[in-house]
Chains A and B, each alone.
Chain A
Amino acid sequence: MDWGRVRFFLGEVARGFTRNAVMQITAIGTVAMTLLLLGAFLFIRTTIADLGNGMLQQIEISVYLTPDATPHTIAALRASFHADPRISTVEFIPKAEGLKELRARTRGVIDTSLLTENPLPDKFRIRVRSPQLVPAVAGELRRLSGVDNVVYGQGVVERLLRLDTVLQRIGVAMIALFVIVATIIISNTTRLAVYARRREISIMQLVGATNLYVRMPFICEGLIDGVLGAAVAIILLVVVHATLWPRLLDALPFVQFNTAVVDVPVLVLQLFLVGGVIGTGAAWISVGRHLQT
């Protein structure tokens, strides 16, 4: 290892970096904003996805049978449910038990003792393996003979699924926008750096420095912008997580957020990676465009 060479190179990078401090800070700040958004988005999405999944996991399909359903029909239906790989649990609730449940649930609200006969049909309570399957399975069950009606909180499931997609699209659009802004700002920083050092560059090219060598300090500056931006974003995320997040949890005590599902080291790594890629990518494009060869 030729330390003199390393020192010279690092010295050039440091000089370039400090020469235009204001612009570098702007670049780092923009990257930090982008990554803060990305980090918050990833964090919230993972948590909400987990929450939604939990809620969706609990969704059950109630299959109400026709009043004339014979024990034979019930047995046949139970067998077909068990045979369906998408269905995870099957529970048969005879009308008597259904009435008991109803009485328990409405105790003190409705006086069910007025009921002289049981108006409820027999029913199956079914859970499926994935919330996405609920609407389809429910639709199929409705067509089976002996089945009168199928209820699963229609609309709620679809809405939750749609909300998930919409959230994802908004997040992706915002992050894309910020990535573009960060790229433009780093490109501009690089352009100014190239301009500030045009004399050095022309001498380097004149004495036979390779293109890669001429570009390398600028690429390194971009990388530093990106990585420092990521570091700032991570620090801000930690601060936000320590201060605002507990308050949010306090404000929404009925929502069971499970933050353990967020893999913090992976998130940190992702942010550094994205920052580095934005920084080097933007610098590479810009230096290529503004360096006449």
Chain B
Amino acid sequence: MISLRSVSLLYPNGVRALDHVTLEIAKGEFVFLVGHSGTGKSSVLRLLYREIRPSSGEITVDGIRVDRLSSRRVPALRRHLGVVFQDFKLLPDKTVWENVAFAMQVTGAPTREILRQVPRALDLVGLSHRSRMYPDELSGGEQQRTAIARALVNNPKILLCDEPTGNLDPANTTEIVDLLLRINLKGTTVLVATHNQAVVDRMRRRVVRLENGKVTTDKERGYYYLGLGQGQVLSG
């Protein structure tokens, strides 16, 4: 579903954000991308939704060669992807319903389809009762659930999350992580970049660790660890 082959990313200022990263993610997998800030987690996600292009290497997302994708075809790629951010990126002057519908409206979806899909997405994230509220009337967790509903409303095959719990307290974090798991169980491939240890430990999913732009460990059902040597695990 997602494939990176020897991908390097060099910023114009000479910083090497990614250094020959190779990564395969199968359909339906749930993968954590972990590492300290500035180790290239976000860069990997931004490469996948073609916010940026790699300096070298091959990137394939759902059969599309993203590294070679022309700007004109980027919208088509993004309709296959849902993206969620730490800061939610909701529109403050639109209600929950409107925020979710927005993703369909701006891609030209027919009204009938919008009326069918938005309630389904809101139901999935458990926000049907909040659909008329504005983002600033919601808790952080509810705002992130709105953002997730928006990311899912177009039925993407892949959900990319960049620090989705970064702004949330532990209770809300749990709520979001459980939601992501449920989404994954419905068949969506989920890739989560995070440095939140509790999240990773709770889920016991595949963990890919990035250090200085390189993949240092890639473990099935791994645990998060901080400041330890390569391959070491904090707890059983």
Contacts and interface: CB of A to CB of B under 8 A. Distances in A.
Interface of A: 2-5, 8, 199-200, 202-211, 213-214, 293
A183 B8 CA distance: 43
30 contacts: A2-B111, A3-B111, A4-B111, A4-B114, A5-B105, A5-B108, A5-B111, A8-B105, A199-B89, A199-B91, A202-B89, A203-B89, A203-B91, A203-B102, A206-B49, A206-B89, A207-B79, A207-B102, A207-B106, A207-B150, A208-B75, A208-B76, A208-B78, A208-B107, A210-B75, A211-B71, A211-B72, A213-B106, A213-B107, A293-B74
B77 interface: yes
A5 B91 contact: no
A4 B75 CA distance: 22
B173 interface: no
Nearest to A7: B111
Interface centre among B76, B105, B151, by most A CB within 10 Å? B105
A203 B75 CA distance: 12
Contacts of A203: 89, 91, 102-103
B193 to A, nearest CB: 16
B-side interface size class: 20 to 34
A205 B50 CA distance: 11
Interface of B: 49, 71-72, 74-79, 81, 83, 89, 91, 102-103, 105-108, 110-111, 114, 150-151, 154
Contacts of B102: 203-204, 207
A208 B91 contact: no
Contact of B106 (A3, A209, A293): A209
Pick from A3, A206, A214 the residue with the most CB of B within 10 Å: A206
B23 to A, nearest CB: 22
Contacts of B107: 207-210, 213
Contacts of A205: 74-75, 78
B79 A208 contact: yes
A210 B106 CA distance: 8
Contacts of A214: 106
A2 B110 contact: yes
A213 B111 contact: no
Contacts of A200: 91
Contacts of A5: 105, 108, 110-111
A293 B89 contact: no
| Most-contacted residue by chain A among B74, B78, B106, B154 (CB, 10 A) | B106
Given A4-B110, A204-B106, 15 more contacts: A5-B105, A5-B108, A5-B110, A5-B111, A200-B91, A202-B89, A203-B103, A206-B83, A207-B103, A208-B78, A208-B107, A211-B71, A211-B72, A213-B107, A213-B108
Contacts of A213: 106-108
A209 to B, nearest CB: 4
Contacts of B151: 207
A209 B78 CA distance: 9
Contacts of A293: 71, 74
B37 to A, nearest CB: 22
A200 B76 CA distance: 18
A207 B89 CA distance: 12
A209 B75 contact: yes
A206 B90 CA distance: 12
Contacts of A206: 49, 78, 83, 89
